[in-house]
Amino acid sequence: MADFTDDIFFGTIGEVGAKLRAKEFSAVELTRAFCDRLERLAPRYNALALSLREQALRKAREVDDDLKRGRVRGPLHGIPYGAKDLLAVKGQPTTWGAKPYAGQVFDEDARVIEKLQKAGAVLIGKLAMVELAGGGGYRFPAASLTGPGLNPWDRTRWTGGSSSGSGACAAAGLVTFALGSETSGSILTPSAFCGVTGLRPTYGLVSRRGAMALSWTLDKIGPICRSAEDCALVLQVISGRDFEDPGTAGKSFTYAPQFARKPADITIGYAPVDFEEWADPAARPDFQTAVGVVKALGVKIKEVELPDFPYNALTGTIISSEAASIFEELIRSGKVDELADHRQAAGLKAAMDIPATEYLKAMRIRTLVQDAFRRLFLDVDMLLSPSRLAPASKITEPLDRGSLGGRPQPKSRGLNGLIPAGNLAGLPALSLPCGFADQMPIAISLVGRPFYENQLIAIGRAFQSQTDWHRRRPPVGV
Amino acid sequence: MKVTRRKLARILAAAAAVPGVAAPQAPSAVSSGDEDLNTAREQLRNNAQQLAKVNLPMATEPAFRFKA
């Protein structure tokens, strides 16, 4: 019987896969160890929606049969992972984190689940999320069927959302990687708050078939992992055209580090004011150090500012309008009042009255946003900013306090607003752990032009080769 | 596949029971439903006011396309 140490539970895809192929343990032993750990520890963080032990062990036995025959499907073969509970798994409850859908069961897998199945990855659990991915606007972290996501670094603090369980489980070594989703911030925020690496792909790179829709034109599914390279390995499997998702872009992603441009050929745009004034004072020292590490990679640096648009008003209008249409039956039936967060229920109800002209205006301004980013990316290859300005808040604090915590607003906007802006323009983003503030993780983000994931990951890997923030481990079990 | 009442009860019980949690439960929203609805409507009005300030050329089309 193998001895499963923390090195395995916190290992990267490459590290765990190498040990599996070297027969240090079988896929069944590995799966059993991760299932035991997930079932035992995930409830401490309100991170588990459903354990899938039985089907995971069946899959693990298939993996062991393959490995006996010398058949290795790829780097994800035999790797245990978790999926945000907005992704359908055939025959299993898919709750969307919301009481009205607690008993919902679909009769087919989401496309990304199918693809990971074919790649030999082992799905061990459905992971908790903010109800309906937070589309109506929620006021408290407790906006979930499973309660507030509790951060493995400090359980009095929030994981961030809406991919709360995915962030917590990846951080605590309960899965080797997780799938999350982002409409506006839901991969980047839990990745930053939990100290793990998250990738929001370009809109349309990954099929949304079988995923709960919150906003057709903003939803993206992406990996939350222990390294930038792991994000690339997962994206390679889950990306690609899908005729059953009209939003897919007809492109796939092939991880090609050998073709990435050298750092000296890359220009990164950033705004010093983000790190010196917008950022929480406790976060500034490690943010400054991280900017120094990026500069030391040899990239060219240019000061930039975000194009001037009302990004929050745009995402608010678009998400509200699309979500109200998607959840119209829930709202009109009154079952929306079963949601845990009253503000979210109210937000969905109010959204029913948004005029079509208002939605169309937002979508027309969105065209101007895309044009402005195209012009910006003529001068720089990618943008660098804090993923979030401060570390995770206490779970008792309301989420509508604002990011400045009472501090005066800086005169220059810098790149503040990059999360809604980047989502509006469909841009990819990579969140990289870069230090601590008040003993809680903080992160930087790299945002690129559409389909620029290989280059983002190359710079991310280079950053992670010079730092070890992504290898830090929270005090799990405390 | 049907979800049995036993399985559904396990899911809801897992949601309710949070063993070993040191932190207090976060409070639910203390305001009334009407107050929340008014707040939500006010937010949407604010959004509309902000969008109204954007200089939007008449020829600008929405960021989606219909294809026959």
Q: Write the CB contacts of A91 (distance below 8 Å, at least 6 apart in sequence).
A: A105, A107, B1
Which long-range CB contacts under 8 A does B51-57 form with residues at least 24 apart? Answer: B51/A310, B51/A313, B51/A314, B51/A317, B51/A358, B51/A361, B51/A362, B51/A365, B53/A310, B54/A309, B54/A310, B54/A365, B54/A368, B56/A361, B56/A364, B56/A365, B56/A368
- Average model confidence (pLDDT) across chain B: 72
- Give the residue from A17, A49, A12 showing the smallest Cα distance to A176: A12
pLDDT of residue B3: 56
* Regions in chain A scoring below 50 on pLDDT: none
Query: What is the per-residue pLDDT across A147-196, written as a single tens digit (0 to 9) for each?
Result: 999 999 999 999 999 999 999 999 999 999 999 999 999 999 999 999 99
Chain segment A402-430, per-residue pLDDT in tens: 778 788 889 999 999 999 999 999 999 99
Residue A84 among the catalytic residues: yes
> Which residues, at least 6 apart from A289, have a Cβ–Cβ distance to it below 8 Å?
A434, A435
In contact, A136 and A351? CB cutoff 8 Å: yes
* Rounded-to-integer distance, Cα A178 and Cα A87, Å: 12
Can you say whether residue A340 is alpha, beta or left, with left for phi > 0 and alpha for psi between -120 and 50 degrees?
alpha
Tell me, what's the pLDDT at B22?
31
The 3-state DSSP class for residue A51 equals strand
**Nearest by CB: A103 against B8, B47, B48:** B8
DSSP assignment of A287-314 equals: HHHHHHHHHHTT-EEEE-------HHHH
Task: Report d(CA A83, CA A224) in Å as an integer.
Answer: 10
Contact at CB, A217 and B64, closer than 8 angstroms: yes
Question: What is the distance in angstroms between the Cα of B6 and the nearest Cα belonging to chain A?
Answer: 11
Q: Is A29 exposed, middle or buried (0-12, 13-18, 19+ CB in 10 A)?
A: middle
Q: What integer pLDDT is reported at residue A407 of this predicted model?
A: 87
Residue of A nearest to B25 (CA): A396
Please tell me the distance in Å from A412's CA to the nearest CA on chain B: 19
- Whole-number Cα distances in Å, A297 to A294, A435, A436: 5, 18, 21
Contact A345 B48 (CB under 8 A): no
Alpha-carbon distance of A151 to A47, in angstroms, equals 9
Sign of the dihedral defined by the CA atoms of residues B9, B10, B12, B18, in that order:
positive
Q: Report the chain A residue with the minimal C-alpha distance to residue B37.
A: A346
Chain B residue numbers with beta carbons less than 8 Å from the beta carbon of A394 are 23
The predicted pLDDT at position A433 comes to 98
| Amino acid occupying residue A162 | S
Query: What pTM was computed for the model?
Result: 0.94
Structure tokens at B10: 């396990």
Which class for B7: exposed (0-12), middle (13-18), buried (19 or more C-beta within 10 A)?
middle
Residue-level pLDDT at A187 = 98
B33 has a pLDDT exceeding 90: no
Percentage of residues in chain A having pLDDT higher than 90: 94
pLDDT of residue B20: 36
- Taking CA atoms, A62 is separated from A2, A28, A50, A92, A353, in Å, by 19, 9, 22, 20, 52
Radius of gyration of chain A (CA): 21
Strands ordered across the beta sheet of A300-303? A48-51, A122-127, A80-84, A177-182, A220-225, A197-200, A429-437, A440-448, A382-386, A267-270, A300-303
Nearest to B63, CA basis, from A374, A341, A410, A57: A374
What is the tens place of the pLDDT at every residue in B48-61?
A: 999 999 999 999 99
CA A329-A325-A348 angle, 5° bins: 75
Distances (CA, A) of A174 to A31, A44, A51, A133: 11, 12, 12, 22
Residue B67, pLDDT score: 79
d(CA A162, CA A135): 9
The structure tokens listed for A393 are: 């808040």
Spatial distance between the Cα atoms of A390 and A309, rounded to a whole number of angstroms: 23
| Closest-CA residue to A150 (of B23, B31, B19, B6) | B23
Examine the pLDDT at B13 and tell me if it is beyond 90: no
The angle subtended at Cα B65 by Cα B62 and Cα B68, nearest 5°, is: 150
Residue B45 at interface with chain A, using a CB cutoff of 8 Å:
no
Q: Is the pLDDT of residue B28 over 50?
A: no
Is residue A162 part of the annotated active site? The answer reads yes
> Does the distance separating the beta carbons of A146 and B20 come in below 8 Å?
no
Kindly state the helix (H) or strand (E) to which residue A220 belongs, with its residue range: strand A220-225
Q: Is A147 on the interface with B (CB under 8 A)?
A: yes
In contact, A431 and A186? CB cutoff 8 Å: no
What is the predicted pLDDT for the residue at A226? 98
Q: Which residues of A touch B50 (CB under 8 A)?
A: 310, 313
Interface ipTM: 0.89
Q: How far is CA A133 from the centre of its chain?
A: 12
Q: Does A140 touch chain B (CB under 8 A)?
A: yes
